[in-house]
């Protein structure tokens, strides 16, 4: 057993931070900078930022609707904060606090598990994290993005603990993170696979630990999955897990739909045939909104969400018809049609695979590399229409008191980050591979202490890439965890490469 392994067994993360004078100074310096950043930003933009999804989350929180258009996890978070404070300021502050703490947890965990040898590079890494202002506009939004980013950072960091220094508290933390992140955003559907891989490849844990971890992961995810399906069925009478996925798939399919295709699809049900006839009619007699919206995006080779939201899209026209025909509410009809829309989307995509790759996968891959700022640059509207009744009552908001001293600050902060993330992607992909081959050259063989962290990193990174590209339109706010993970992990690898090689246990 080498010196570092012994120190891992003897020390704890808390002691690593607060019993080490240098680390303690770094920690409190980071906290002070985060605090000054927050106070300065809130002086410039006093109120929280809201957009369409914000009001949906608040509505679900007010009504305690565990089955709504979005996952209930973030609405539950709003309920928890609201039990103590009714101000939107409290939500923003709590979001910023947990995001900053998760960043510091990631940094000091990596420094503890894979110690930085070069002190200047260690301080430089921390500066990149702490001085980065992008988390200010992110945390200022009433939306699930900050919570999802926080949970993802802690989740992946706990995986590093599992492969490097597994313990009971790490396993409990991992399961808690999985449960919450799964309930906040369904992008986390592939996270349990990564967790199981981490448990299988760690050679520092016994078979009992691995078995408990894998069983716990399956129980947490299956339990959450069953609870969500049960809540949706109880509320709507529809036996689905996610209504949104079917709508999203149909939206994507309409961007590659060919009404005059010779290879016409033989639809299996009368409902699908009826919906297909509506789609064909819309293509033959498009409204002005269709021409200027979805059809223009389609001609320009862009991926969008026009068919998902616009009231004149075929998806919405059939929804209104369904409501009238069966005398059901908009909400129940939205869920009831999700299965049929998923089938329509699947068949259309399978029938137009090349177009799907050309018009969906390729553009969305580019969005992953160079994402749009989208909602991060949106502004509140200080008038009577800027918030729903539920939002105004929940936070006791008054539009006449809305204060923005420096309205251009948000855009100025966000503007360079779609380009900066290109550099982060380069670090995420190139540096771990370079690290692995350099260690192979030094030691003359593939050592698992080097291979396993890189393997875990690539599974997480490319898993997130694949799921995001296929699942939904990618924007910058979905990518901000990489400004923590994509800096700490690659720079740690750089330190390991160019620092003094140390003997490690195989």
pTM beyond 0.75? yes
- Residue 355 CB neighbour total at 10 angstroms: 16
pLDDT tops 80 at residue 288? no
pLDDT band at residue 265, thresholds of 50, 70 and 90? confident
Percent of the residues in the chain that have a pLDDT greater than 70, as a whole number: 92
Whole-angstrom CA distances from 44 to 259, 320, 341, 351 are 51, 43, 44, 52
The string of DSSP codes covering 251-283 is HHHHTS--TT-SS----SSHHHHHHHHHHHHHH
Distance CA 19, CA 11 (A): 10
pLDDT tops 80 at residue 250? yes
pLDDT tops 90 at residue 70? no
- Residue 476 CB neighbour total at 10 angstroms: 22
**Could you tell me where the beta strands, DSSP code E, fall in 304-371?**
none
Lowest mean pLDDT among 81-95, 182-196, 264-278: 264-278
* pLDDT tens for each residue of 111-146: 999 999 999 999 999 999 999 999 999 999 999 999
Distance CA 327, CA 486 (A): 50
Give the list of residues 6+ apart from residue 417 with CB closer than 8 angstroms, or none. Answer: 134, 373, 476, 483
Distance CA 454, CA 446 (A): 12
Q: How far apart are the first and last CA of the chain?
A: 9
- Residue 95 CB neighbour total at 10 angstroms: 26
Distance CA 99, CA 105 (A): 10
* pLDDT tens for each residue of 254-264: 888 887 665 67
Distance CA 131, CA 128 (A): 6
Give me the long-range contacts of 202-208 (CB less than 8 A, separation at least 24).
Answer: 202/162, 202/163, 202/164, 202/166, 202/452, 203/448, 203/452, 204/163, 204/164, 204/165, 204/166, 205/162, 205/166
Domain residue extents for the chain:
1-142+378-414, 243-351, 416-506
pLDDT tops 70 at residue 3? no
Please choose, from the candidates 87, 66, 65, 91, the residue with its C-alpha nearest in 3D space to the C-alpha of residue 77.
91
Distance CA 378, CA 93 (A): 19
């Amino acid at each position: 057993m080498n010196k570092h392994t012994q120190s891992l067994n003897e020390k704890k993360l808390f002691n690593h931070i607060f019993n080490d004078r240098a680390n303690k100074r770094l920690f409190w310096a980071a906290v002070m900078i985060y605090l000054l950043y927050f106070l300065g930003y809130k002086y410039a933009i006093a109120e929280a930022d809201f957009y369409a999804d914000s009001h949906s989350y608040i509505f679900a929180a007010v009504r305690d609707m565990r089955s709504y258009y979005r996952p209930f996890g973030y609405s539950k978070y709003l309920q928890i904060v609201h039990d103590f404070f009714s101000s939107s300021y409290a939500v923003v502050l709590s979001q910023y606090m947990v995001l900053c703490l998760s960043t510091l947890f990631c940094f000091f965990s990596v420094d503890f598990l894979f110690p930085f040898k070069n002190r200047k590079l260690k301080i430089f890494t921390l500066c990149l994290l702490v001085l980065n202002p992008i988390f200010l506009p992110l945390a200022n939004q009433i939306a699930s993005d900050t919570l999802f980013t926080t949970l993802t950072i802690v989740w992946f960091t706990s995986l590093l603990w599992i492969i490097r220094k597994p313990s009971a508290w790490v396993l409990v933390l991992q399961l808690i993170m999985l449960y919450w992140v799964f309930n906040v955003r369904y992008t986390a559907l592939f996270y349990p696979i990564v967790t199981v891989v981490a448990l299988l490849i760690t050679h520092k844990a016994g078979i009992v630990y691995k078995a408990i971890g894998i069983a716990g992961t399956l129980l947490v995810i299956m339990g959450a999955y069953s609870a969500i399906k049960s809540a949706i069925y109880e509320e709507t009478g529809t036996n689905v897990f996610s209504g949104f996925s079917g709508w999203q798939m149909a939206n994507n399919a309409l961007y590659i739909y060919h009404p005059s295709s010779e290879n016409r699809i033989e639809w299996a049900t009368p409902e699908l045939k009826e919906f297909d006839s509506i789609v064909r009619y819309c293509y033959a007699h498009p409204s002005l909104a269709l021409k200027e919206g979805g059809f223009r995006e389609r001609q320009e080779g862009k991926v969008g969400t026009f068919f998902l939201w616009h009231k004149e899209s075929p998806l919405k026209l059939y929804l209104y018809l369904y409501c009238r025909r069966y005398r059901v509410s908009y909400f129940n009809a939205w869920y009831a049609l999700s299965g049929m829309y998923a089938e329509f989307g699947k068949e259309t995509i399978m029938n137009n695979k090349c177009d799907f790759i050309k018009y969906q996968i390729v553009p969305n891959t580019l969005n992953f590399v160079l994402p749009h700022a989208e909602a991060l640059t949106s502004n509140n509207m200080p008038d009577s229409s800027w918030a729903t009744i539920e939002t105004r009552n929940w936070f006791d908001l008054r539009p006449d008191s809305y204060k923005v001293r420096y309205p251009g600050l948000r855009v100025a902060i966000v503007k360079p980050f779609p380009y900066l993330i290109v550099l982060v992607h380069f670090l995420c992909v190139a540096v771990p591979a370079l690290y692995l081959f350099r260690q192979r050259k030094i030691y003359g063989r593939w050592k698992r202490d080097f291979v396993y962290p890189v393997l875990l990193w690539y599974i997480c990174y490319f898993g997130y890439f694949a799921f995001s590209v296929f699942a939904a339109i990618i924007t910058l706010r979905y990518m901000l965890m990489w400004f923590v993970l994509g800096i700490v992990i690659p720079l740690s690898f750089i330190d390991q490469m160019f620092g003094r090689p140390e003997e490690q246990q195989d």
